[in-house]
Amino acid sequence: MPCPFETPILPPLRRRRKRRPTPRARTTVTNAYDPQSIEARWQARWDTDRTFAALNPGEPGFDAARPKYYVLDMFPYPSGSGLHVGHAVGYIGTDIVARKKRMEGCNVLHPMGWDAFGLPAEQYAIQTGVHPAQSTATNTANFRRQLKKIGLSYDWAREINTSDPSYYRWTQWIFKRLHEKGLAYQAEVPVWWCEELKTVLANEEVINGRSERGNFPCVRRPLKQWMLKITAYAERLLDDLDLLDWPESIKIQQREWIGKSEGAEVEFAVEGGADKLVVFTTRPDTLWGATFMVVAPEHKLLQRVPASHREAVRAYVQSAAAKSELERTELAKDKTGVFSGLFAHNPAFESGDPRGRIPIWVADYVLISYGTGAIMAVPGHDERDFAFARKFGIEVREVVRPPQGEKGLAEGVCFTGDGTAVNSGPVDGLPTPQAKSRAIELLAQRGVGKARTTYKLRDWLFSRQRYWGEPFPLVHLTDGTTVAVDDDALPIELPQMEDFKPSSDGSAPLARATAWLQTTHKGAPARRDTDTMPGWAGSCWYWLRFMDPHNARAPWSKDAEQYWGPVDLYVGGAAHAVMHLLYARFWHKVLFDLGLVHTKEPFQKLFNQGLITAFAYQDSTGRLVASDEVETRGNEFVRKASGEPLEQIVTKMAKSLKNVVNPDDVIAEHGADTLRLYESFMGPLADSKPWNPRDIAGCARFIDRAWRLLVDPESSDPVRPQFRVDQGDRPLEGDTLELEKQLHRAIARIDDSFKVFNFNTSIAALMTFVNEAMKKHAAMTRSQAERFVQVLSPFAPHMAEELWSRLGYSDSIAYVPWPKVQQQFLEDDTVEIVVQVGGKVRGRVGVPKAAAQPDVEAAARGAVASWLEGKETVKVVLVPGRLINFIVK
């Protein structure tokens, strides 16, 4: 099949001049490093030998004595544009880890699959006119091809696809479990509707009133939708973060997203009727300072507005509704609102006390979706209430006296911190924390309030009126009830539809699949649900399916889950800090409660790889110019066609920025091992770093040098003669000993780099070793060559396999035990001591490692004699084995 991405999108390498036939060099040398043939051969070999197949407990050959290691990538959405080098950096990182773990004797689970359902796939399908099932098949084939070409050691027998009925059968099955537990319900809720996408979106998919995907305008609309009760798990989602080895920044983002806040719920009686206005506050201690109340424009109390104020309130509510989310935020500092004509009674005061009669206002700084949609406003101790009261001339009453030295109302500023209660009757004199709990007690005694905890986290809007997603495993009966279909009726397959575009009225495409729609349930006529699940659904449990991907009787077997779970290392972009990771944790906890998994959390260690950025070019008007239209002239960049000067900027890789680098092109030019080395060498995996094609050459040179270290390109021998026989008894001395030390140092550095995934230092260590070994070539032994190839293999596996086989081994290097560092080779008999005078380096001196202090000092004095001449030494600081510092006067 022709690859749809033929156009090279590499930034301009220096163009080759016309290629001349190369007479001698290329034709007679048969033994030069040839990545294309080596890589093709070993990739084919890995496939046919199933080298990286992971065995499950119970399978023949499974070795229960080995520790398990589950290393998982965030599986990709297989987009039409294929993989770019930015995606690859994370996959290369996990591959390096997986390969080393195998050599360390672990049973390694390292799978890959496709997150193929969801809006982007469908949008792409609509744009190109190709059915999503078709484009998904094409795109996954392309992704798989690209991943294999990088030499990633996945167990391809475990490949999964969330849009495959054999997979989503179990997504539906899990949804049924949620439904049974009452965690899935239907509700008429105001939801974000995107006209352009013709679907509802979850809160978190809408940014400033525009869709995250496509940046289309969205509006609020009430619609009956499936919801998942993630809020029931809010507390555990928060608490269990403490169990995880995750980046602190991600934990913080999750905590903020859950947004726990503790306080009280307080009832205010509304004057002239039985209505109660319930508010949530984190500061019950300030109840005595509440001088007005505010309800959100959508609050139902507004139906009770007296005629005198009805028109003003109606007008305000309408204008608030017309404001986009963006306008609301932009105008955040300038508060708006109107008086509703209603009054409430503050329960802090006796009825009849004029201080307790407070006006109720409508303002859009109060959100209907948080708390109760209404607040008690304490302008003395809340910035927003303060601004509002100032603007509308409402009384500000001090009820918290700031601690000594802090400014408060006396200085004309709103004080929001902790202090001492004043003007607050029964809580007067209490420090804020005690005043809070005392206030709650008082409210509770009188039955007008109680302690309450709220969360920013909302229930998860789980339906989409789209085609390309999992159908719901439920039917609607004629009597209006909704029931789940039987487990053995699963999967409810998506019907084949030619036209799956959303309808203009917002009804789901599946509503037009008339034959599919009508069904029966236990003999009675029934109608299927026409919504589909959101794109996140399939990724909420996929790590579990990887453990047992072909199980036809259950989503996974208990044995498999017991053995492989949890994921030991999960690597992906920080972009998924909140949504995917929170949803996945939620499902996992539900499954835990059902006894279907044995761990509370799915991902023990999480690691975020950094972004690969790339150069992009702008002309003087700021317009982007594709990288391949750009020419480098010295330090300047110009448009090739016109010579017009351009500015080089560094940005993320994106099709729209015309700076995407396809790994296929890098592999075609340099080979996959060089690509892997470069991506590892650029910098620590966690860092964001720019792709610079110029730098690839260094890795290409290194790998070629490494090849020549073991193979003589001028001869036809598989390896240099000195490596053909084991010189086991040869004494380690001279250059051979020196190389042995270098090798151990390199391995120590490599081992170290797996702690924080800064493989750049591993590559540097390998380079240093090769440079040294090239100089002491004749002294290198077969054993050293073998160990070098072993530690090279996670990084450049194709070449390592090739060299390993040339060294005479017929089995793959993948499971050869990782060499051990021996401490004795990391130490030298003599050490170089830096000699400082007055803190400045003035010389250095070699001394025996075990040298006594007076001897070191004497030697050091000799080395810096001219600097000490005529000076008095006041102090000598000696750092053994490192440094000596003479402080002089």
Span 747-766, contacts to RNA by CB under 7 A: 758, 760-761, 763-764
Of the candidate residues 1, 2, 6, 19, the single one contacting RNA (CB under 7 A): 19
In the complex with RNA, which residue's Cβ is closer, 136 or 680?
680
In three-state form (DSSP H/G/I as H, E/B as E, the rest C), the secondary structure along 512-556 is: HCHHHHEEEECCEEEEECCCECCCCHHHHCHHHHCCCCCCCCCCC
Q: Does 574 bind RNA (CB under 7 A)?
A: yes
For residue 869, the number of C-alpha atoms closer than 13 Å in the C-beta half-sphere is 6
Give the DSSP per-residue string, 435-468. Answer: HHHHHHHHHHHTTSEEEEEE-S---EE--BS-SS
SS3 of the chain: helix, strand, coil, percent, to 5: 40, 20, 40
In the complex with RNA, which residue's Cβ is closer, 10 or 178?
10
Span from 423-431, 581-589, 693-701, 853-861 in contact with RNA (CB under 7 A): 693-701
Strand-pair category, 830-837 with 883-888: parallel
Give the DSSP per-residue string, 62-95. Answer: --TTSPEEEEEEPPPP--TT---HHHHHHHHHHH
Instruction: Name the minimum Å distance from CB 826 to RNA.
Output: 8
Of the candidate residues 705, 745, 776, 777, the single one contacting RNA (CB under 7 A): 705
Instruction: Name the minimum Å distance from CB 279 to RNA.
Output: 7
Q: Does 695 bind RNA (CB under 7 A)?
A: yes
In 3D space, the residue among 512, 523, 527, 532 whose CA is nearest the CA of residue 475 turns out to be 527
Pair 122, 132: CB distance under 8 Å: yes
Burial 105-131 (b: 16+ CB within 10 A, else e): ebbbbbbbbbbbbbbbbbbbbbeeeeb
Give the DSSP per-residue string, 604-657. Answer: SBEEEEPPEEEEEEE-TTS-EE-GGGEEEETTEEEETTT--EEEEEEEE--GGG
In the complex with RNA, which residue's Cβ is closer, 159 or 204?
204
In the complex with RNA, which residue's Cβ is closer, 444 or 594?
444
Of the candidate residues 122, 382, 470, 601, the single one contacting RNA (CB under 7 A): 382
Of the candidate residues 101, 148, 384, 452, the single one contacting RNA (CB under 7 A): 384
Of the candidate residues 17, 553, 623, 755, the single one contacting RNA (CB under 7 A): 17
Q: Does 725 bind RNA (CB under 7 A)?
A: no
Q: How many CB atoms lie within 10 A of CB 67?
A: 11
Q: Which long-range contacts (CB under 8 A, 24 or more apart) does 390-398 make?
A: 391/335, 392/337, 392/339, 392/361, 394/291, 394/292, 394/359, 395/291, 396/291, 397/288, 397/289, 397/291, 397/423, 398/289, 398/422, 398/423
Of the candidate residues 113, 373, 380, 602, the single one contacting RNA (CB under 7 A): 373
In the complex with RNA, which residue's Cβ is closer, 102 or 689?
689
Instruction: Name the minimum Å distance from CB 97 to RNA.
Output: 17
Instruction: Name the minimum Å distance from CB 584 to RNA.
Output: 17
Which parts of 207-236 interact with RNA (CB under 7 A)?
207
Which parts of 673-692 interact with RNA (CB under 7 A)?
681-684, 687-690, 692
Amino acid at 513: A
Q: How many chain residues touch RNA (CB under 7 A)?
A: 91
Distance (Å, rounded) from C-alpha 586 to C-alpha 606? 16
The sign of the torsion formed by the CA atoms of 476, 478, 483, 489 equals: negative
Q: Does 367 bind RNA (CB under 7 A)?
A: yes
Binding flags for RNA, 576-595, as an x/- string (CB under 7 A)? -xx-----------------
Of the candidate residues 185, 349, 370, 754, the single one contacting RNA (CB under 7 A): 370
Instruction: Name the minimum Å distance from CB 527 to RNA.
Output: 37
Report residue 333 as tokens. Answer: 């500092």
Q: Does 633 bind RNA (CB under 7 A)?
A: no
Which parts of 40-99 interact with RNA (CB under 7 A)?
none
DSSP structural state of residue 813: G
Instruction: Name the minimum Å distance from CB 406 to RNA.
Output: 16
Binding flags for RNA, 819-858, as an x/- string (CB under 7 A)? -------------x-x-x-xxxx--x--------------
Q: Does 329 bind RNA (CB under 7 A)?
A: yes
Q: How many CB atoms lie within 10 A of CB 823?
A: 8
Q: How far apart, in Å, are the Cα atoms of 412 and each of 379, 381, 405? A: 12, 12, 14
Pair 455, 280: CB distance under 8 Å: no
Of the candidate residues 366, 448, 492, 508, the single one contacting RNA (CB under 7 A): 366
Q: Does 371 bind RNA (CB under 7 A)?
A: yes
In 3D space, the residue among 65, 156, 96, 69 whose CA is nearest the CA of residue 676 turns out to be 96
In the complex with RNA, which residue's Cβ is closer, 634 or 817?
634
| Three-class SS state of 201 | strand
Distance (Å, rounded) from C-alpha 451 to C-alpha 277? 16
Contacts of 128 (CB under 8 A, 6+ apart): 80, 135
Q: Does 618 bind RNA (CB under 7 A)?
A: no
Amino acid at 709: L
Of the candidate residues 332, 524, 725, 737, the single one contacting RNA (CB under 7 A): 332
Of the candidate residues 44, 554, 594, 697, the single one contacting RNA (CB under 7 A): 697
Q: How far apart, in Å, are the Cα atoms of 408 and each of 382, 392, 415, 424? A: 12, 21, 5, 16
Q: Does 805 bind RNA (CB under 7 A)?
A: no
Q: Does 658 bind RNA (CB under 7 A)?
A: no
Span from 92-100, 155-163, 257-265, 431-439 in contact with RNA (CB under 7 A): 257-265
Q: Does 282 bind RNA (CB under 7 A)?
A: yes
Q: Does 276 bind RNA (CB under 7 A)?
A: no
In the complex with RNA, which residue's Cβ is closer, 623 or 755?
755
Instruction: Name the minimum Å distance from CB 312 to RNA.
Output: 19
Q: Does 668 bind RNA (CB under 7 A)?
A: no
Of the candidate residues 220, 328, 745, 777, the single one contacting RNA (CB under 7 A): 328
Q: Does 37 bind RNA (CB under 7 A)?
A: no
Instruction: Name the minimum Å distance from CB 505 to RNA.
Output: 30
Instruction: Name the minimum Å distance from CB 451 to RNA.
Output: 13
Instruction: Name the minimum Å distance from CB 271 to RNA.
Output: 22
Distance (Å, rounded) from C-alpha 710 to C-alpha 526? 72
DSSP structural state of residue 271: S
Instruction: Name the minimum Å distance from CB 689 to RNA.
Output: 3
Pair 648, 694: CB distance under 8 Å: no
Could you give the residue ranges of the DSSP H alpha helices within 2-61? 24-28, 35-49
Of the candidate residues 95, 548, 665, 704, the single one contacting RNA (CB under 7 A): 704
Binding flags for RNA, 428-467, as an x/- string (CB under 7 A)? --------------------------x-x-----------
Q: Does 698 bind RNA (CB under 7 A)?
A: yes
Which parts of 866-885 interact with RNA (CB under 7 A)?
875, 877, 879, 882-883, 885
Give the DSSP per-residue string, 131-150. Answer: -HHHHHHHHHHHHHHHHHHT
Instruction: Name the minimum Å distance from CB 685 to RNA.
Output: 10
In the complex with RNA, which residue's Cβ is closer, 244 or 526?
244
In the complex with RNA, which residue's Cβ is closer, 112 or 378?
378
